[in-house]
Amino acid sequence: MPAIVRVRDLHKSFTRGTERIDVLRDLTLDVGAGEFLALMGPSGSGKTTLLNLIAGLDTPTAGEISVGENVISEMSESELARWRTRHVGFVFQFYYLLPVLTAYENVELPLLLLPLTREQRRKQVETALDLVGLSNRTDHRPGQLSGGQQQRVGIARAMVTDPTLIVADEPTGDLDTKSADEVLTLMEILRAQLNKTIIMVTHDPKAAARAQRIMHLEKGQLARDTAAIGMAAGR
Give me the torsion for CA of 204, 210, 213, 214, rounded to 10°.
Answer: 10
Count Cα atoms within 13 angstroms, Cβ side, for 198. 32
Closest approach of other proteins to the CB of residue 219, in Å: 17
220 binds other proteins (CB under 8 A): no
What span, in angstroms and rounded, lies between the C-alpha atoms of 157 and 72?
Answer: 22
What span, in angstroms and rounded, lies between the C-alpha atoms of 81 and 83?
Answer: 5
Among 137, 152, 157, 196, binds other proteins (CB under 8 A): 157
The nearer residue to other proteins, 47 or 191, going by C-beta atoms, is: 47
33 binds other proteins (CB under 8 A): no
77 binds other proteins (CB under 8 A): yes
Closest approach of other proteins to the CB of residue 58, in Å: 4
Stretch near other proteins under the rule CB under 8 A, chosen from 34-42, 99-107, 175-183, 186-194: 99-107
Closest approach of other proteins to the CB of residue 230, in Å: 29
Among 31, 41, 54, 169, binds other proteins (CB under 8 A): 169
Among 17, 118, 177, 233, binds other proteins (CB under 8 A): 118
Among 10, 60, 90, 132, binds other proteins (CB under 8 A): 90
Among 22, 26, 30, 58, binds other proteins (CB under 8 A): 58
The nearer residue to other proteins, 1 or 100, going by C-beta atoms, is: 100
What span, in angstroms and rounded, lies between the C-alpha atoms of 220 and 153?
Answer: 32
71 binds other proteins (CB under 8 A): no
204 binds other proteins (CB under 8 A): no
75 binds other proteins (CB under 8 A): no
Residues in contact with other proteins by CB under 8 A are 48-49, 52, 55, 57-58, 77-78, 81-82, 84-86, 90, 92, 94, 96, 98-101, 105, 108-110, 112-113, 117-118, 121, 157, 169
